[in-house]
A and B are shown apart, each in its own frame.
Chain A
Amino acid sequence: MAESTGPDAIAADARPRLPRGVRLVNSEAQGGFVLLAPERVFKPDPIALAILQRCSGDATLSEIVDDLAATFSAPRERILADVTALLRGLADKRLLEL
């Protein structure tokens, strides 16, 4: 069951989470949240951070999109497209499990 269609669609009931070895941490010295992975460090922008903080493994994709749409008062379809693009990109880099 996919919310959107196309080759990169993610199932609406997928529960995205950071795999072991990938951690989102708040570094005072670096001035904010960073995503740490094997030999790599990423700095999420505020929107990416809001998405990543919801990838707990408990919430489904649908719930994450609903939550973001409410929080940012933005159209659900646009949020879904943004979230799908980000999560798919992270999953391809082995930074996220879907």
Chain B
Amino acid sequence: MAVDTPREGTGADALPRPLGLLAELTHRCPLGCPYCSNPLALEGRHDELDAATWARVFGEAAALGVLQVHLSGGEPAARRDLVEIMASARDAGLYTNLITSGVGLTNERLDALADAGLDHVQISIQDSAEATADHIAGYRGAYARKNALAAQVVRLGLPLTVNMVVHRANIDRIEDMVALALDLGASRIEVAHVQYYGWALKNRATLMPTRVQVERAARAVEDLRARHEGRIVIDAVVPDYHARYPKPCLGGWGRRSLNINPSGRVLPCHAAEVIPGLEFWSVRNHSLAEIWQSSPAFQAFRGTDWMQEPCASCPRRAVDFGGCRCQAFLLTGDARATDPVCVLSPRHAEVAALAGVQEDAPYDYRRQRVPAEGV
């Protein structure tokens, strides 16, 4: 008798089946968080997939094995047809998770989403203290709106996750963040250390916590988990510049999940476009199954054959898959290199040094190069 996480694939040659799909419905967003996970080159409104294409893609995703779709952005509520898009995912049989900033989503539209079968809502909150929360978001009033929307989520009986991205300016308030999530009625909180890609990489020295802060935060999370077991699930994303081993990026390249960007390009992860030379296919020209099986970008780093030493002969190669390909490229210039977060990487000392660089500079906020319409 057991309830376990499913394993991927059924045999040595079987192509794994994806479990999750991150659907970036738009890159438009009213907030300017300096660690936004969107790429530096944001897609414009006119390139976005229409609702009918998303509906077709959700059907293909379910047939491929996808169980959960994460409706994200940018701010997904910037899409006027969000309810229609969500309903089509639900109709395809997918578990629907809305990842929202809470800004631009009215209570009325949330009610409509709940009526149409939305399964779960995740709201990002930038800090437990209002003034710094609004400063980090680059948007006055964001904190108040997020709290009001969270209350409505709970009133509707929907499960709520609060996502807190932590960095040097707020990492000392993890206890307050968990207290806030409990007050709001959340059943889950993500304490996610900044990952340094895109906008966060531009702001790295401003965001980087000290080692002392990181160690205190790890102890705080352990204490809070023990204290609140059964009341709230606390998931933590580790601060990998301070780690000894790299994160197993999404459980392996092209193995468990895929990402579709607003214009329809299908990526193994949201940051994959930073790697030069990868060929991404679009749902405008191919079925999702074709892309998952055959697109050059998905095949590039699948499995372990692409590895160099020290990864190729490492006993951990099927545990962490050499770490993150995007990070390997960003920090070493070679996407096939060992993620230098790993102590076994010849370039590890550079990462350890970067983890010790803190700067008090103003945020370089995320922004659209060409002003986006309709935001």
Contact = CB atoms under 8 A, between A and B. Distances in A.
Interface in B1-43: 1-6, 10, 17, 19
A1 interface: no
B65 A38 contact: no
A12 B224 CA distance: 32
Contacts of B122: 38
A37 B280 CA distance: 30
Most buried by A among B4, B95, B187: B95
Contacts of B190: 39
B2 A41 contact: no
A29 B65 contact: yes
A46 to B, nearest CB: 9
Contact of A91 (B95, B230, B233): B230
Interface in B226-261: 229-230, 232-233, 235
Given A20-B157, A94-B233, A29 B188 contact: no
A29 B1 contact: no
Given A20-B158, A34-B6, A38-B97, A82 B1 contact: yes
Contact of A41 (B19, B62, B119, B157): B19
B63 interface: yes
A contacts with B: majority SS: mixed
Contacts of A19: 159
Contacts of A86: 1, 3
A43 B1 contact: no
B263 interface: no
A35 interface: yes
Contact of A21 (B64, B93, B119): B119
Majority secondary structure of chain B interface residues (helix, strand, loop or mixed): loop
Contact of B6 (A30, A39, A82, A94): A30
B2 A30 contact: no
Contacts of B97: 38-39
Given A44-B3, A82-B1, A38 B67 contact: no
B67 A43 contact: no
Given A21-B159, A23-B119, A25-B93, A36 B1 contact: no
Given A21-B158, A29-B17, 13 more contacts: A22-B159, A23-B95, A27-B65, A29-B63, A29-B65, A30-B17, A30-B19, A34-B67, A39-B161, A43-B5, A45-B4, A94-B232, A94-B233
17 contacts: A20-B157, A27-B67, A29-B63, A29-B66, A36-B95, A36-B119, A41-B19, A43-B4, A45-B1, A45-B3, A48-B1, A82-B1, A86-B1, A90-B3, A91-B230, A92-B229, A94-B159
Closest 3 CB pairs of A and B: A21-B159, A29-B65, A43-B6
